[in-house]
Structure 1
Amino acid sequence: MVGMSMFCYQCQETAANEACTDVGVCGKDAETSNLQDLLVWELKGLSAIAERARAEGITDEALDVFVAESLFSTITNVNFDPEWFEDRIAETQRRRAALRETYEREVGELDDSSLPEAATWTGEDPTDFHEKADPSTVGALRTEDEDLRSLRELLTYGLKGIASYADHAYALGETKDEVFAFVTRGLAATVDDRYDAEELTNLVLEAGEVGVEVMEILDTAHTDTYGHPEPTEVDIGVGDRPGILISGHDMKDMEELLEQTEGEGVDVYTHGEMLPANAYPAFKEYDHFVGNYGNAWWEQHREFEAFNGPVLLTTNCLVPPSDSYADRVYTTGVVGFPEVPHIDGREDGEPKDFSPLIEAATGTEPPEQIESGTIPNGFAHKSVLDRADEIIAGIQAGDIRGFVVMGGCDGRHAERNYYTEMAKEFPEDVIILTAGCAKYRYNKLDLGDINGIPRVLDAGQCNDSYSLIRIATALQDALDVEDINDLPIAFDIAWYEQKAVTVLLALLSQGVEDIRLGPTLPGFLSAGVTDLLVEEFGIKPIDTVESDIQEILATIDGEPTQPAMSD
């Protein structure tokens, strides 16, 4: 820790692919990073007590939701406000004390010596929090053994993704106690020294199974509420009225914003991972919902400035705003940034109040046009499987050679242009399946179609990777293939943050092997854990476009490929 004021390596862009130790590449300062570490550590301590309480039949849904929301707030690019984390840490301690009191009243006294320090340490005020919030004390570096540290962090990051998806589903009335139970069990295990590497590995793999489960719950929440996404050509131009731009992932926020802006003379545009909202039938009913503006999260500075109207950030998508447009940015949910206005959560079943955005939009200039045309969207599992006969016929006729799953996250690194070049270089008989914002690297290319089936099938948000799993398993059944790895499908995944970790673990839980992961392998994977993933699942880093194209086509064609490399 000599010379380090923080230690964070949870995202793909971490400094030198090792760790941010002074200020985060994301813009997060050391104070906020360390408070986030303390909050996660405190949530692990709370979970240790919650685990004991659950074993005795003591559960509390409000507490489970609090843990999920709090974990969500620590994902990369969600919350940069240190005061918010001070409040959350204090609230975590209050809830922990209340839960312990309930347990001891109904079951019996807890012995502090049987609990991890994270379950017993209490700070009196923010000064105590800042003193305790040291990376070597409460952060990743508190675990000295590199492989154990790697497994604990891999599990923690998978749990962050699970928690975020569970939070989205909960907002729409869909929940499952088993998911919340796994979050607390997993968190508790990371501060329990009785868990060895094998037990932690099993929990990491179980996190993948729960990842599939929670993505299915969220899929049900979305489709039951808004209908199944439909193939849609999304307009990427602009109108001549003031606009509000909504970015992130939260469809409940989208619904309430559309309801409240109806008839107000204001148009609504999506940005980033909100693009898939354009394909839901319920949202198409709103005439003032006019399309998508811009690209992936990291291009905010240029695009938000050009938009002219207010911007609502709903989830993990915030780039510290420039002064030129900061007064037009609003956060909501677990998103936060100092001095940026925040739209409070729902109370007593009432919707959020987006009137400040509507008032701010009135009289602003229309968005500056930065591009024109349309992009295809809405190819989630139902819309693709509705054409399953055509797809199977295309495969059998040789018109469709195979599929490449090229989803995940986008980011700033120039190396990500690899995915653009890959999309350009694939033969015309290969279809790209995607979900997440990685698609912005190629979704505006004119790649054509195969017998009317677009060569880019965009299932939606990162959580809609569930659709890609559904499509793969349906093809497996239709083609009577015993092993999913014998399908004409290859996986070339981009990652950035912790939801992507959950998606990766979800794919591994389905038995998917030989996944390419880029632009780099995670910095939080130790050599030992990397070797494990290589040996068990064939995980490999991306290479050059030329070599990867050759190997991917060999995989699709059912030919042997080169063994996975560990670095």
Structure 2
Amino acid sequence: MDVKMFCYQCEQALGGKGCTKAGVCGKDSDVAALQDLLIHNLKGLAFYGQRVLDKGGKIAPEIQNLMADAVFSTLTNVNFDPERFFVFNTNAEKFKQQLRDQLGQIDGPVPEAALYISPNRVDLMIEDGKKFNIMADECMNEDIRSLRELLIYGLKGMAAYVHQAAVLGKRSEEVNEFFFKALNETLKEENGINEYFALNMELGQKNLIVMELLDSVHTGTYGHPVPTKVAITKKKGPFIVISGHDLKDLEMLLEQTEGKGVNVYTHGEMIPAHGYPELKKYKHLAGNFGGAWQEQQNEFDNLPGCILMTTNCLQKPRPSYEDRIYTTSVVGWPGIQHIEEVDGKKDFTAMIEKAIELGGFTEDEEEKNIMVGFGHNATLSHAGTIIDAVKAGAIKHFFLIGGCDGAKPGRNYFTEFAQQTPDDTVILTLACGKYRFNKIDFGTIGGLPRLLDVGQCNDSYSAIKIALALAEAFECDVNDLPLSLVLSWYEQKAVAILLTLLSLNIKNILLGPSLPAFITPNVLQVLVDKFNISPISNPEADLKKILG
């Protein structure tokens, strides 16, 4: 294939097929090659790691952490910095050699990914990376390639949640070891459709474990979210906008800005933070700024404050704010100031001083609010009221309308769908897809808002827990509940969550705004046959199909 790169891992894939010159996401062909090389290196690392596990051994925590963080770094809109990928590749090579030496003589064939040795220069890594892109084996059966990439993209999504939990000190050996198993399996030529399908379902179950782990550490550290009004308007004074998903970074930022006259606004997927008692106690957590991630270039343009990107959802910074945007953790962009962690701490002093220098907003806006904080604990505290309302016919149906937002045309579907849901129905929402409609007043039902914000994308666990509790109360299967899932997807965390839902045998999911480019017609047919998954059509037709 005579192209500079090939990537079709996200919904933006050019022409619905794949990016071949540069990523629509903003990555160039050099970064794409470094990411492809990194996945290749990690497959080699997985080969040796799995053999250590097969012999009853353990993989060192630093190798487990490298595996998860390196996989996460290749997720869409996370890291665009060639130097950071040089470091990831170098460390993957170091650990690969370490495990190889630990094992000694290997019985049986050793795959090329395990034998490969990375060069020690970025330019040479880029040249090698071009040999290992997704389409490198042009003779591979396309359905097997589809399921292999589905597995890898699910791993990328799960890696984001593994990283978030690890930041707060929680890890699952079972989940961490699955990265080695799954990537090692992609090296086996004998694996076919059945083997890859089973691996994808296993990934779904592993992702459920890590989402539960992340929920546990979030609520254990910051308390269970409670229904909370969040200002979506500006306040006078210096400020910092924090985006992404990492609550630990937000906590450290709030601690370091307290008493300094600097307001902190959440952005994008960080908005659920306002519901956590141990975060909302900070009075200078002033509100939420802007909308979903894809609006950032316009929203941050000439912003008189600073921005901190903590996990993913980074776009190419415009010159008008590149001096005031900072990255941390696995996030990176060439030339942008990066804040490293040292002994478990991050020093935000430079950013705080810059925010004060910029001066911030010059006047208060008239305050407007939206509600967040309806995680499983808060929602199920009203379970009796909800169940009585369903039995009495006051609540006819539940809709989970959530997932990733994006810039692709057709996403107005989710706004229109939410607006057209009948008044006797409840809308659960999560992830940044909610920005399509979370500022609309849907009224109340049974004393609760009709729109219940469950949280971040990883809080799909909350939605699952709510659904399972309702199914238990009504003594039925989840698929028999008056519940419909209408999901939007953009990147690989949505893939991991979808695999989790399918592994729980949840059926009749509507997915949009378009189907993934990496899903072949045959693989799609399997998903339709087993789970009745289907693409969205139009709000009127889909609502009629659901409600009759």
| 538, 541, 545: which one aligns with 2:539 | 545
For residue 457 of structure 2, the aligned residue among 455, 462, 465 is: 462
Q: Determine whether 1:444 maps to 2:444.
A: no
Asked if 1:250 corresponds to 2:249, the answer is no
Compared CA separation, residues 529 and 342, structure 1 to 2 (3 A): same
Q: CA deviation at 1:550?
A: 0.6
State the Cα distance separating 1:137 from its structure 2 match.
3.1
The aligned residue for residue 96 of structure 1 is 96
1:171-221 CA-partner distances (Å, limit 9, x unpaired) = 111111000011111111112213221111100011111111110000001
Could you tell me how far 1:44 is from its partner in structure 2?
A: 1.1
1:328 maps onto 2:324 in alignment: yes
Alpha-carbon RMSD: 1.4
What's the counterpart of residue 399 of structure 1?
394
Partner letter of residue 517 of structure 1? L
Q: Distance in 2 between matches of 1:200 and 1:521?
A: 19
Q: Would you identify which runs of 4 or more consecutive aligned residues in structure 1 move more than 4 Å? A: 368-372
How does 1:214-363 map onto structure 2 within 5 Å? 214-305=210-301, 307-347=303-343, 349=344, 351-363=345-357
1:115 paired to 2:110 = yes
Structure 1 residue 365: Cα displacement:
2.8
CA deviations on 1:356-409 (whole Å, 9 max, x unpaired) are 111111132324779951111000000000000010011011111110111100
Is the contact made by 1:93 and 1:122 (CA closer than 8 Å) also made in structure 2? yes
User: Which region of structure 1 is more displaced relative to structure 2, 182-191 or 241-250?
Assistant: 182-191
- 2:6 is aligned to 7
Report SS of the residue matched to 2:265. strand
Would you say the 8 A contact 1:41–1:139 is kept in 2? no
Q: Would the aligned equivalents of 1:223 and 1:229 in 2 still touch at CA under 8 Å?
A: yes
The CA distance in 2 between the partners of 1:115 and 1:407, in whole Å, is: 43
Write the distance in 2 (CA, Å) between the matches of 1:406 and 1:133. 38
Deviation at 1:142, TM superposition (A): 2.6
Query: What is the SS of the residue equivalent to 1:327?
Result: coil
**What's the counterpart of residue 563 of structure 1?**
none
8 Å CA contact retained: 1:406, 1:434: yes
Contact map agreement 2:5 2:32 (CA 8 A) in 1: yes
**TM-score normalised to the size of structure 2?**
0.97
Q: Report if aligned partners of 2:40, 2:132 keep a CA contact under 8 Å in 1.
A: no
Q: 1:406 & 1:316 partners in 2: Cα distance?
A: 22
- Report how far residue 263 of structure 1 moved: 1.1
TM-superposed deviation, 1:345? 2.1
Quote the Cα distance in structure 1 between the aligned partners of 2:269 and 2:15: 27
Where 2:99 maps in the other structure, the secondary structure is helix
CA offset at residue 538 of structure 1?
0.8
Pair 1:509-2:508 in alignment: no
Q: Deviations over 1:90-118 (max 9, x none)?
A: 111011101111222xxxx125x622111
- Corresponding pairs, count: 544
8 Å contact kept, 1:38–1:139? no
- The answer to whether the 8 A contact 1:234-1:377 is kept is yes
- Amino acid of the structure 2 residue aligned with 1:355: T
Report the Cα offset of residue 307 of structure 1. 3.6
Contact 2:307 2:325 in 1 (8 A): yes
Q: 1:533-566: per-residue Cα shift (whole Å, max 9, x none)?
A: 1111111100011101111223xxxxxxxxxxxx
Q: Which residue of 2 aligns with 1:150?
A: 146
Aligned partners of 1:34, 1:448: CA distance in 2, in Å? 50
Give the match's secondary structure for 2:515. coil
Spell out, residue by residue over 1:13-44, the C-alpha distance to the aligned partner (whole angstroms, 9 max, x if none).
11111101111111111111111011011111
Q: Match of 2:280, as an amino acid?
A: K
Partner amino acid for 2:543? I
Does the residue aligned with 1:459 lie in a helix, a strand or coil?
strand
Deviates more, 1:72-81 or 1:372-381: 372-381
CA spacing shift, 1:372–1:414, aligned 2, 3 Å: farther
One-letter amino acid of the counterpart of residue 550, structure 1: K
Equivalent pair of 1:34/1:139 in contact (CA under 8 Å): no
What is aligned with 1:67? 67
Answer whether contact 1:306 1:367 (CA < 8 A) is retained.
no
Matches of 2:533 and 2:497, distance apart in 1: 14
Tell me the distance in 2 between the aligned counterparts of 1:76 and 1:529.
23
Q: Deviations over 1:320-368 (max 9, x none)?
A: 0100111110000000000000000242x4x111111111111323247
Q: Deviations over 1:290-315 (max 9, x none)?
A: 11101000000121125411100001
Q: Distance in 2 between matches of 1:160 and 1:116?
A: 22
**2:23 — aligned with what?**
24
Moved more, 425-434 or 192-201: 192-201
Q: 1:379 aligns with which of 346, 368, 374?
A: 374
Cα pair 1:314 1:332 within 8 Å, conserved: yes
Could you say what secondary structure the match of 2:220 adopts?
A: helix
How big is the shift at 1:140? 4.3
Q: Is the 8 A contact 2:34 2:129 kept in 1?
A: yes
CA pair 301-373 structure 1, distance change in 2 beyond 3 A: same
Partner of 1:137: 132
- Indicate which of 443, 446, 471 corresponds to 1:476: 471
Aligned counterparts of 1:265 and 1:453: Cα–Cα separation in 2: 35
Measure, in 2, the Cα distance between the counterparts of 1:284 and 1:58.
Answer: 40
Cross-structure match for 1:190 = 186
Q: Using a 3 Å threshold, how does the CA distance of structure 1 residues 402 and 343 change in structure 2: closer, same or farther?
A: same
Q: Could you give the per-residue CA deviations for residues 403-434 of structure 1, whole angstroms, max 9, x where no partner exists?
A: 01111000002210100001111111111111
Tell me which of 415, 439, 451 is aligned to 2:410. 415
Task: Indicate yes or no: 2:81 matched with 1:81.
Answer: yes
Give the match for residue 40 of structure 1: 39
Q: Structure 2 vs 1, CA of residues 358 and 480 (structure 1 numbering), >3 Å: closer, same or farther?
A: same
SS at match of 1:305: coil
2:483 equivalent among 481, 489, 504: 489
Residues 535, 77 of structure 1: alpha-carbon distance in 2 compared, 3 angstrom cutoff: same
